[in-house]
Amino acid sequence: MTNSPQLNTNWGSSYRLVASEKWKAKSAAMGRPLTEALVEYSRPRPGMKVLDLASGTGEPAISIAEQVGASGHVTALDLSSELLEIAARRAQQRGLANISFRQADAQEIPFGDGSFDLATCRFGVMFFHDPGRALRELYRVLRPSARACFAAWGPFEQPYWQSTMGVVFKHVGGALLPPDAQDPFRFAAPGSLSAAIRDAGFQHPEEETRIVSWVWPGEPQEAWEYAQAVSAPFRPMLERVPKSEWPRINEEVVHELRKFVRDGGIDFGAQVVFAAGEKS
């Protein structure tokens, strides 16, 4: 068990590479139901041109590429070229020729007006430096009647977060996140994401919160190690933990995680906000 988290705080690259490389199989298994839910929610059709923002290691871009077929095309966009290299290898392993990868900032999308029939973003919109600007850019590159579909974290007060970072927070107090930190829960408040979508110019904004299967296929100790590996926004809080406190915190986290053990995995269930808007 780790005594304290060790990770680089660069959100766009290093932390995600840690998770992608060491925990790629189990992380993918845990996130698969969410990916499937977002693909179903976004309703891709054969022949569509799709843009996936903050695509990381390739989902839901790869799954959508399989849906739109050879007559369609998916562009996976992310700030991290290293993550996109992983995504490209995954797409190649599946024999997909209808997907391309582009390193770029979602706030400056490098495509012309009206280039895409659909856009998706899985757990990315919360972390854009200026979400309003990114959403307006997304509106610009979509064709009339095209939809933009998002999945974002629901509240901090849910099993996955409360049994990990919530335990640390209870011990150290202070701020959960610094005022200027990238906030996983930026759009957890009901109506906040649909409001941002509407403010960017989209019509018919919609939003709902769902419970999605979120199962870590392994032991509590490694689930906690994984949570720390992807905890860049919480790093300032973690750094406040005195070294002498880590054994007690680790023991308590594992105790909490064991409450959710089911059939060889840790079954949290994730509260996820799904939202969408349509370009007029």
* pLDDT of 229 above 50: yes
Tokens of 276: 């969408």
Note the pLDDT of residue 16.
56
Tokens of 280: 């007029």
Q: What is the Cα–Cα distance from 187 to 124, expressed in whole angstroms?
A: 11
Q: Are 68 and 44 in contact (CB under 8 A)?
A: yes
Q: How confident is the model at residue 8 (pLDDT cuts 50, 70, 90)?
A: very low
Residue given tokens 């109506």 in the structure block: 191
H-assigned helices in 2-148:
14-22, 24-42, 61-68, 81-93, 131-141
CATH of 14-278, one of 3.40.50.150, 3.30.470.20, 3.40.50.2000, 3.40.50.300: 3.40.50.150
Q: How big is the CA angle at 150 (ends 209 and 109), to the nearest 5 degrees?
A: 160
Question: 130, 77, 119: which is closest to 100 by C-alpha?
Answer: 77
Note the pLDDT of residue 13.
47
Phi, psi of 32 (to 5 degrees): -60, -45
The upper half-sphere exposure of residue 190, i.e. CA atoms within 13 Å in the direction of its Cβ, equals 3
Tokens of 263: 């059939």
* pLDDT of 11 above 60: no
Q: What is the Cα–Cα distance from 113 to 53, expressed in whole angstroms?
A: 16
- The predicted model gives 213-224 an average pLDDT of 96
Of 4-13, 61-70, 147-156, the one with minimum mean pLDDT is 4-13
pLDDT in tens, 79-121: 999 889 989 999 999 999 999 999 999 999 999 999 999 999 9
Q: What is the Cα–Cα distance from 74 to 99, expressed in whole angstroms?
A: 5
Note the pLDDT of residue 21.
67
Domain ranges of the chain: 14-278
pLDDT in tens, 22-78: 787 898 899 999 999 999 999 999 999 999 999 988 999 999 999 999 999 999 999
